[in-house]
Amino acid sequence: MADILRLDGLVAGYGAAVVLSPPGISLHLAEGRSMAVLGRNGMGKTTLLNSIIGATKRFSGTIEVGGRDITRLAPERRAGAGVGWVPQERNIFRSLTVEENLTAVARPGAWDVARCYQMFPRLRERRANLGNQLSGGEQQMLAVARALVLNPRLLLLDEPTEGLAPIIVEELLAALKRIIRDEGMSALVVEQHAQKILGVTDEAVILERGAVVHAGSSASLRADPEILARYLGVTARA
């Protein structure tokens, strides 16, 4: 199976500050697979996603999506290369309705507005509401749906459950599981709730000080209390 994402020796940061440290991040993700990116705060998880979308300073290394080298591609052109992004800040259009948020960015493909409404019934119910009239959970669902209607080949999600009520977390994770597992969407997910996201993804990496310190299957990591405790400060039951 071909790789949807390949990073080779990626060293990156902001200004003069290096966050993804030498010798750099090297990893690959096969098409149709998903990967959890875990680690304590400040270890480089968001920087990794930001580097894939072109929002950091790259010092060295390469980035390929679907076999295409996008290392020097301008950030605004990476969506066209197949990268969909759900940022921590959500970045929805607050002065547009739910439906306008989706139709404004939609690209032709399997994921259209109707299919997103099927995935997120709450959005169908709120389709005439403005973005600033939605709850935090509804805004996050809209941010995911807005990335889906771009019909990306690779979906990047940065802390999708942060700040959400537990019942909304479960609802959103169930939707992500359907998108990733049932629909076969390739995805890279940064998440603090390690145990929860490991039940959704196929593979997992742990970052520490801008470097990969563990890589393997999500199932094996979920069942390894020693690794979870050492790098994430959680137990296998957390």
pTM for the whole thing? 0.94
136 and 177 in a single domain? The answer is: no
Domain hosting residue 11, numbered range:
3-82+152-232
How confident is the model at residue 238, as a pLDDT?
45
C-alpha–C-alpha distance, residues 76 and 220, integer Å: 37
C-alpha–C-alpha distance, residues 229 and 38, integer Å: 12
Tokens representing 236? 């296998």
- Amino acid code (one letter) for 55: A
pLDDT tens-digit profile, the chain (238 residues): 799 999 999 999 999 999 999 999 999 999 999 999 999 999 999 999 999 999 999 999 999 999 999 999 999 899 889 999 999 999 999 999 999 999 999 999 999 999 999 999 999 999 999 999 999 999 999 999 999 999 999 999 999 999 999 999 999 999 999 999 999 999 999 998 899 999 999 999 999 999 999 999 999 999 999 999 999 987 645 4
Whether residue 108 has a cis bond before it, omega within 30° of 0: no
Number of domains in the chain: 2
157 and 126 in a single domain? The answer is: no
How confident is the model at residue 235, as a pLDDT?
60
158 DSSP β-pair partners: 190
Residue 64 lies in a domain: yes
53 and 95 in a single domain? The answer is: no
Where do we find the tokens 């990496």?
Answer: 205
Length of the chain: 238
User: Which helix (H) or strand (E) element contains residue 20?
Assistant: strand 17-30
How confident is the model at residue 51, as a pLDDT?
98
168 and 228 in a single domain? The answer is: yes
115 and 204 in a single domain? The answer is: no
C-alpha–C-alpha distance, residues 117 and 203, integer Å: 28
Sign of the dihedral defined by the CA atoms of residues 49, 53, 56, 57, in that order:
positive
CATH number for position 30: 3.40.50.300
